[in-house]
Amino acid sequence: MKLGFNEATCMKRSSVEDDLRLCEKYGYDYIELRLDMLKKYFAKNTIKDLQSFFGSSRLKPYAFNSIEDINFCDSSRWDTLRALFTFGCETAQAVGNPYLVVVPTMGEDMHLKTKKEVFDDSVEVLDRLADIAMPYGVKLAFEPIGDKRWCVRSLDQALEIIEAVNRDDVGLVLDSINLFLYNRLEDIDSIDKVPLEKIFVYHIDDCEDLPLGTLDHCHRLFPGDGVIPLETISQKLHAKGYDGICSVELFRPEYWEIDPETVIKTASEKAKRFL
Ligand code: ZN
């Protein structure tokens, strides 16, 4: 697999400019830029600056993160979402970034929705978003999040949804902690059921050994420092023939306090054994 860096990892102290420079320096193949950080970048820079960086670097853009809370939108929420999504598509097309990550809706009441309500809404909204993205040549990577606050939690549920959408430009993000947050990966063999061509992105992260309900994104750790069976996940992805991005994505406040260069260097060293 190819080494990737997701900008969530250093987002409180870093910037697009610094992440680009440091990821190039420490041998990453790909970067996943964040839309909120790109907006800040464009306050001082132009699209030509970004094109010129990628034109002369080994590092390439892969997936923008992320369009969140895509389900059950009212019309005002949909307008906001569509505007951000369109900004993502335009920028992606301009710099040759193939994917946009889309995330199901989070809320304390999401567990009250029936599986059918979530399925029907997800299929419809993914199809609508893919229609918008198509002229830009951008594909959607849909990311299930295992915790019960999110409406699409398991890999099986997400796979069923994207199979119903049935488009080449809609696939999945597999994220190790998001898989683990659903039953602590008891159903790890569900990875085997995902067709290779539907794995658009792999986010790698480890986590502390905490009970479900307590375990959260702030407990993410560098790959290899926690309890997620990352070697087994890598083996399963290799067995499938997956050779795409393996992108370090950490939302750990403790790491946000550390100098981004140290985090980016450490993440590259720790992730390499799982490629
Ligand atoms: Zn992720």
Residues of the chain with pLDDT under 50: none
Identify the CATH homologous superfamily for domain 2-274. Answer: Divalent-metal-dependent TIM barrel enzymes (3.20.20.150)
Q: How far is the CA of 241 from the centre of ligand 1 (A)?
A: 21
Compute the distance from residue 210 Cα to the ligand 1 centre, in Å.
19
Residue 242 is predicted with a pLDDT of 98
- The pLDDT assigned to 82 comes to 97
Residue 89, pLDDT score? 98
Q: Do β-strands 206-207 and 220-221 pair in parallel, antiparallel, or remain unpaired?
A: antiparallel
Q: Is 177 helix (H, G, I), strand (E, B) or coil?
A: helix
- Residue 175 CA to ligand 1 center (angstroms) comes to 5
Is the Cβ–Cβ distance between 139 and 133 less than 8 Å?
yes
pLDDT at site 119: 98
> What's CA 255's distance to the chain center, in Å?
18
Q: How far is the CA of 14 from the centre of ligand 1 (A)?
A: 19
Please state the pTM of the whole predicted model. 0.97
Query: Which residues, at least 6 apart from 30, have a Cβ–Cβ distance to it below 8 Å?
Result: 2, 3, 4, 5, 59, 60, 61, 62, 245, 247
Cα angle 246-248-249, degrees, rounded to a multiple of 5? 125
Q: How crowded is residue 12: how many other Cβ atoms within 10 Å of its Cβ?
A: 10
CA of 182 to the centre of ligand 1 (A): 14
pLDDT tens digits, 189-226: 999 999 999 999 999 999 999 999 999 999 999 999 99
Contact criterion met (CB below 8 Å) for 188 and 144:
no
C-alpha 86 – ligand 1 centre gap (Å): 21
Could you give the CA distance from residue 249 to residue 131 in angstroms, rounded to a whole number? 28
| Complete DSSP assignment for 192-232 | GGS-GGGEEEEEE-EE----TTT--GGGEE-TTSSSS-HHH
How many whole angstroms from 256 Cα to the centroid of ligand 1?
Answer: 17
The full set of domain ranges for the chain reads 2-274
- At 180, list the tokens: 């683990």
Q: How far is the CA of 143 from the centre of ligand 1 (A)?
A: 7
How far apart (Å, rounded) are the C-alpha atoms in residues 73 and 47?
Answer: 30
Compute, in angstroms, the gap from residue 87 CA to the centroid of ligand 1: 21
Ligand 1 centroid, distance to 25 Cα (angstroms) = 23
